[in-house]
């Protein structure tokens, strides 16, 4: 009865001089309440309006210290990651169109991690083949820390610098959120992260003791990844002034060449 709501009407019998006399069995009547009727003026708060607004407000808020804030950057399935990896190796469409407004950090993180461990493995093999076998071989774990610092640092810091430069020179869409006509920070991270996928096969075959082959393999990796970056960044960079756009493109290619040179001489010298 508390859930439905009732109006209580009490009839007071004015006889025998007793104004307080009531007959609860005969004169106490219950009528259905109309407080829950939306058309009634007394129903100020519809039952479904207030809880829905409060729940939607809680769902729209994602705080930096919650897991839901970071989960949105890894909201991608395996087929989408494989498709993006293939598009980085064999570009047919603009990569930002393939992202379709849903850039992820799942693929870039695991690609960079795979490159780090393969560089350590193949770099160790290269050092073993070049060492003298008259004494025990000692693993150089500095290769692992060096590979992690190089790959993670390049993939994380260079996109931030590029995004900041585009924002400084007022490139349209240089925002943290959705892309308008430029590129967002998450898309920069995704672009550079998936550009590293070419270094997986390059690292697997660059441990050869033939130095010329190693140069060729690293040069091919640089050409494929640099072409992928410039092809997808040029529509964004070209909206700035001509001199600024040239400087930005040269900076992107130059930093990527530095990555390729570091990979060659640190791991496959």
- pLDDT per position as a tens digit, 200-255: 999 998 887 788 888 999 999 999 999 999 999 998 888 888 888 999 999 999 99
Q: How far is CA 3 from each of CA 176, 203, 214, rounded to the nearest angstrom?
A: 48, 70, 79
Question: In this predicted structure, what is the pLDDT of residue 268?
Answer: 82
Residue percentage of the chain with pLDDT more than 70:
68
Residue 154 CA to residue 116 CA, distance in Å, equals 12
What's the token pair of residue 193?
A: 């992260």
Helix (H) or strand (E) holding 144: helix 142-168
In this prediction, residues 106-113 reach a mean pLDDT of 94
- pLDDT per position as a tens digit, 138-173: 888 888 999 999 999 999 999 999 999 988 887 555
Q: Who has greater pLDDT, 131 or 155? A: 155
Q: Who has greater pLDDT, 108 or 49? A: 108
The candidate with the shortest Cα–Cα distance to 143, out of 257, 255, 269, 258, is 269
In this prediction, residues 245-267 reach a mean pLDDT of 93
Taken as a whole, the chain contains a residue count of 269
Q: How far is CA 224 from each of CA 12, 90, 228, 258, rounded to the nearest angstrom?
A: 95, 9, 6, 15
- pLDDT per position as a tens digit, 27-64: 555 555 554 555 555 444 444 444 444 444 444 566 66
């Amino acid at each position: 009865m508390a859930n439905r709501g009732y109006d209580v009407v009490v009839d007071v019998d004015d006889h025998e001089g007793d104004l307080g006399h009531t007959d609860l069995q005969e004169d106490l009547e219950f009528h259905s309440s109309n407080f829950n009727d939306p058309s009634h003026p007394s129903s100020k708060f519809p039952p479904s309006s207030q809880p829905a607004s409060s729940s939607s407000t809680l769902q729209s808020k994602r705080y930096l210290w919650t897991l839901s804030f970071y989960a949105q950057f890894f909201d991608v399935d395996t087929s989408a990651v494989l498709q993006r990896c293939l598009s980085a190796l064999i570009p047919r469409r603009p990569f930002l169109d393939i992202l379709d407004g849903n850039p992820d950090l799942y693929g870039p993180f695991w690609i960079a991690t795979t490159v780090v461990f393969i560089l350590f493995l193949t770099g160790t093999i290269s050092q073993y083949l070049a060492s003298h076998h008259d004494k025990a071989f000692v693993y150089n774990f500095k290769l692992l820390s060096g590979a992690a610092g190089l790959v993670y640092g390049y993939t994380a810091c260079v996109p931030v610098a590029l995004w900041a430069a585009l924002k400084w020179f007022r490139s349209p869409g240089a925002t943290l959120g959705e892309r308008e006509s430029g590129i967002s920070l998450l898309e920069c991270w995704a672009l550079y992260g998936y550009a590293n996928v070419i270094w997986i096969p390059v690292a697997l075959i660059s441990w050869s003791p033939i130095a010329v082959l190693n140069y060729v393999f690293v040069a091919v990796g640089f050409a494929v990844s640099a072409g992928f970056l410039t092809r997808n960044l040029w529509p964004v960079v070209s909206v700035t002034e001509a001199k600024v756009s040239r400087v930005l493109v040269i900076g992107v290619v130059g930093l990527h060449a530095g990555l390729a040179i570091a990979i060659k001489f640190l791991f496959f010298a």
